[in-house]
Amino acid sequence: MKIEAVDFFYFAMPEVTTDADGSQDALIVRVAAGGLCGWGECEAAPLPSIAAFICPMSHGACRPVASSVIGQKLEGPDDIARIGALVAHDSMDLLQAPHTFSGVEMALWDLLGRRRNEPVWKLLGYKRSEPKIPYASLLFGDTPQETLGRARQARADGFGAAKLGWGPIGAGSSQDDADQFVAAREGLGADARLMVDVGQIFNEDVEAAAARLPALDAAGVTWFEEPFHGSAYEAYAALSGRSARVRIAGGEAAHNVAMARHLMDFGKVGYIQIDSGRIGGIGPSKVVADLAAERGVAYVNHTFTTHLALSASLQAFAGMADDRICEYPAAPRAVAAAVAANPLPRDDNGEIRAPDQPGLGVDVDLPALKPYLVDTEIRVGGEVLYRTPKIE
């Protein structure tokens, strides 16, 4: 079969705030081929991602992503990898291309799985989908008291693990942050896993990040996530060498396999966190998962948006029994919650698995999303290059 059409649906909340909450809008991708459709999601700003797919060519190494996708043959996993390599070569100077293609690539896997009546994880070579321990992915509150409440709610909702992120961490003193860590631990209880994400707040300041290590250790934190810019490998390595117990985590900023590999080899992270919506899709995520296993680094998905993205992010390590922790969007905005008609449920043990259904096993609920559809048109030289697809 050949790829006949790629449609982008831009959805957003009526009001988008400055909260570090990526679930406030969504760019959902539909790929059509052979009478079937597959679905994916881009984890990036919607408008630049759409533009990267349809923009006029600047030169031979700066072509629109569409030129490498539309009309291509899709018969097996090798075709998805081939198309990805073509995008990387012909759009190498289009920096948004990996983000745009990530959503398309997910949809290609979904479509191929539906065509073969097999889940994506099986197409990747896994024999079974192993259970994962989902952690509630939440933001720190503005105050320790607010953080305490959020952590308590996560535990009340049945989560035995949670990650608190961003918020005021790093903006004040190390004691201010210590108070937040204590509140998170108190709210979760002594037996729960607690992770902390600081959203690159320390740039490359190793001393500032290291000042938080004693409090993180005291709170029994499992990992200290993204203290630095995604490619600040020297800073990651320096902090990893000074950490008493808490492991350093990162990788969501990687938009190719090499960046993730460098973070493991040179940055010495203990956890590599890959977002399939940023790195180029499910195939590159699986490559990183295999590299991590060879290096004794724990692989973790990065997912903060929808259950479509959640399923896609699980596929790369679905069959890895030793890598048990997975990110789970615990408090998404209404637009993100509306995407999946059949979200991934937690079982009686509080665990989740990559679905056994064909493809990604998630159906996109377009009628439920219709109120959030952003009417958009991109016009160049009088020609309409993109117009919001209709939802019947």
Q: Tell me if residue 191 falls in helix, strand or coil.
A: coil
pLDDT above 90 covers a percentage of the chain that reads 94
Closest residue by Cα to residue 196 from 239, 152, 226: 226
Average per-residue pLDDT for the chain? 95
Going from the C-alpha of 180 to that of each of 172, 186, 199, 212, 354, the distances in angstroms are 11, 10, 15, 11, 33
Fold of 123-337: TIM Barrel (3.20.20)
Contact (CB, 8 A) for 236 and 261 = no
What is the rounded distance in angstroms from the CA atom of residue 69 to the CA atom of residue 3?
7
184, two tokens: 């998170």
pLDDT over threshold 90, residue 255: yes
Q: Where in the chain is the domain with CATH 3.20.20.120?
A: 123-337
| Helix/strand/coil for 221 | strand
Helix (H, G, I), strand (E, B) or coil at 288: helix
- Per-residue model confidence (pLDDT) at position 20: 80
pLDDT at 31 over 90: yes
Q: State mean pLDDT over 235-257.
A: 93
Candidate CATH numbers 3.30.390.10, 3.90.1580.10, 3.40.50.1000, 3.40.50.300; the one for domain 3-117+365-387: 3.30.390.10
348: pLDDT strictly greater than 80: yes
- Looking at the predicted structure, is the pLDDT value of residue 244 above 80? no
Mean pLDDT for 285-298 is 98
How would you class 244 by CB atoms within 10 Å of its CB: exposed for 0-12, middle for 13-18, buried for 19 or more? exposed
Of 317-321, 330-334, 380-384, the one with minimum mean pLDDT is 330-334
pLDDT at 42: 95
The angle, 0 to 180 degrees and rounded to 10, between the axes of the packed helices 46-54 and 97-116 is 80
41 touches 101 (CB < 8 A) = no
Tokens encoding 214: 């004693």
Among 124, 13, 8, 2, which residue's Cα sits nearest to residue 372?
Answer: 13
**Above 90 in pLDDT, residue 339?**
yes
Start-end of H helices in 129-232: 144-156, 174-188, 206-210, 213-218
In this predicted structure, the answer to whether residue 392 has a pLDDT above a threshold of 80 is: no
Q: Cα–Cα distance between 58 and 130 in angstroms, integer?
A: 45
Who wins on pLDDT, 263 or 138? 263
The pLDDT score that the predictor gives to residue 112 is: 98
Compute φ and ψ for 223, nearest 5 degrees: -145, 155
Mean pLDDT over residues 286-305, rounded?
96
DSSP state of 125: T
The mean pLDDT of 333-343, rounded to a whole number, is 95
Per-residue model confidence (pLDDT) at position 331:
81
Each residue's pLDDT tens digit, 86-137: 999 999 999 999 999 999 999 999 999 999 999 999 999 999 999 999 999 8
Distances from the Cα of 222 to the Cα of 91, 98, 162, 218, 384, angstroms: 38, 30, 10, 11, 50
In sequence order, what are the residues at sequence separation of 6 or more whose Cβ sits closer than 8 angstroms to the Cβ of residue 268?
236, 237, 240, 241, 248
Residues whose CB is less than 8 angstroms from the CB of residue 233 and which lie 6 or more positions away in sequence, other chains included: 262, 263, 266, 267
Q: Mean pLDDT over residues 311-320, rounded?
A: 98
pLDDT, tens digit (0-9, with 9 covering 90-100), for 149-208: 999 999 999 999 999 999 999 999 999 999 999 999 999 999 999 999 999 999 999 999
**Predicted pLDDT at 330:** 83
Every domain of the chain with CATH number 3.30.390.10 lies at: 3-117+365-387
> What global pTM score does this model have?
0.94
Quote the pLDDT of residue 21: 80
CA-only gyration radius of the chain, Å: 20
